[in-house]
Amino acid sequence: MSRRHRAIVRAGATLSVALRPTAVPGPGELSVATSYAGLCGTDIQMLRGLRDDPAPVIGHEGVARVVAAGAGVPETLGPGTLVAVNPTHPTDPAFLLGHNVDGLLQERTLLPATAVTGGMVLPLPETTDVTLAPLLEPLAVVRYALGTLSAFRPATLLVIGDGIVGHLAARAARRWLGPRVRVAMVHHTTPGREFSAAGPYPADLLLTGPSEVTLDAPVAALLATPRDATVAALESALTAGAEVVDIVGGLPPGATTPLLPGVDLTAVRAANCGGRPDPARIATAGRVRVFGHRGVANRHLLDAAAELARDPARYRDLMTHETDLDGAARVMRALAGSRERTVDGRRLIKLSVRITEDD
């Protein structure tokens, strides 16, 4: 009898927990059991039909254990190994976990040989707190961003966006930019600003627009916005005096702004993928430096894991909702049908999904 497992499956406009066949890994492949997984902003865009990524099972943030390994898989990835999966392959566009390859929001995930041979599956220490897994990949994105921005020695970090990446950036800024940097965080809504103000580690300045105050120069900006808001956020950052800008959020194809004439913003962001090249390519337009990136390098994931182990209490409260597969499907249906981020009476920053028990 063939084995099956539970998964949150997208089928057209429907979303439900369903049974799927459990694949036996072939040569070079791995079958992993997700312990905890998260839901990110791009996942929500897929749920709302704003992206056409084909994977029926989404989810690229999480930690898993190897259940079975195909022939030729290194012994370091044998059954029982706790792993993280780098979701963005730097050289093989056919592997984008949770986008064009089925993701982690299921009890078993088959990782193809290209992910294994490409080094996208990272063993983690057994002491890893798997309950923090949904924060690992977004904090790695922040590590990449702040590491690159640190070369410009900013006095102010301007964070535009109050989702998980924005909050993680505000909290990690002094860790990776130095103790004297001042953090200004721009919120999309009043409820977002209220959430930040009530939290244990608010930014130095909680704003609804960067023009509200004069920022100490030099100013570095991190744009953690949905793709349909990124160009406007960039223009706001430039108007506020930003001299270097990291476009973390997505962009529509061929995006431009008259404030940076001749710069194809989409191409600038696409120039850095999966941590390559290193250092990142940065475009120059007059006095402004601008760059972006898709995905992270393994070292960013390992740095993020170390940071979560060093100071877990600084980040844990950002996982505002925790549930199982059935509860996650309910939350995902609510997010798909509304632009609001309030679920069960609380603002959702990060959804944490318990999938399999970690022994």
Buried b (16+ CB within 10 A) or exposed e, 301-317: bbbbbebbeeeeebbee
For residues 120 and 141, membership in a common domain is answered with: no
The owner of tokens 């997505």 is 250
Q: Do 10 and 50 have their domain in common?
A: yes
Q: Answer yes or no: do 116 and 27 share one domain.
A: yes
Is 131 inside a domain boundary?
no
Q: Are 100 and 187 in a shared domain?
A: no
Residues 170 and 234 in one domain: yes
Asked whether residue 94 falls in the same domain as residue 189, the answer is no
Residue 21 in domain:
yes
* Claim to verify: residue 106 and residue 13 sit in the same structural domain: yes
Q: Which residues contact 24 (CB under 8 A, 6 or more apart)?
A: 31, 68
pLDDT at res. 52: 87
267: left (phi over 0), alpha (psi -120 to 50) or beta: alpha
Both 151 and 288 in a single domain? yes
Q: 36: helix, coil or strand? A: strand
In three-state secondary structure terms, 154 is coil
The domain of 14 spans 4-124+320-354
What is the number of domains present in the chain? 2
Question: What pLDDT, on a 0 to 100 scale, did the predictor assign at position 99?
Answer: 97
Residues 203-235: tens digit of each pLDDT: 999 999 888 899 999 999 999 999 899 999 999
The answer to whether residue 215 sits within a structural domain is yes
Residue with tokens 């793709």: 227
Q: Distance between CA atoms of 324 and 333, rounded to whole angstroms?
A: 14
**Number of residues that this document lists for the chain:** 359
Rounded to two decimals, what is the model's pTM?
0.97
Which pLDDT score is estimated for 339? 84
Average confidence (pLDDT) per 10 residues, the chain, 359 residues? 90 92 98 97 90 95 98 97 98 97 98 98 97 98 98 98 97 98 96 96 94 94 94 97 96 94 96 96 97 97 98 98 98 91 94 84
Is the same domain home to 196 and 257? yes
The CATH number that applies at residue 330 is 3.90.180.10
CATH code of the domain containing 226:
3.40.50.720
Residue 300 lies in a domain: no
- CB 8 within 8 Å of CB 15: yes
Same domain, 327 and 249: no
Strand partners, 288: 285
- Judgement on whether residues 74 and 198 belong to the same structural domain of the protein: no
- 278 and 154 housed in the same domain: yes
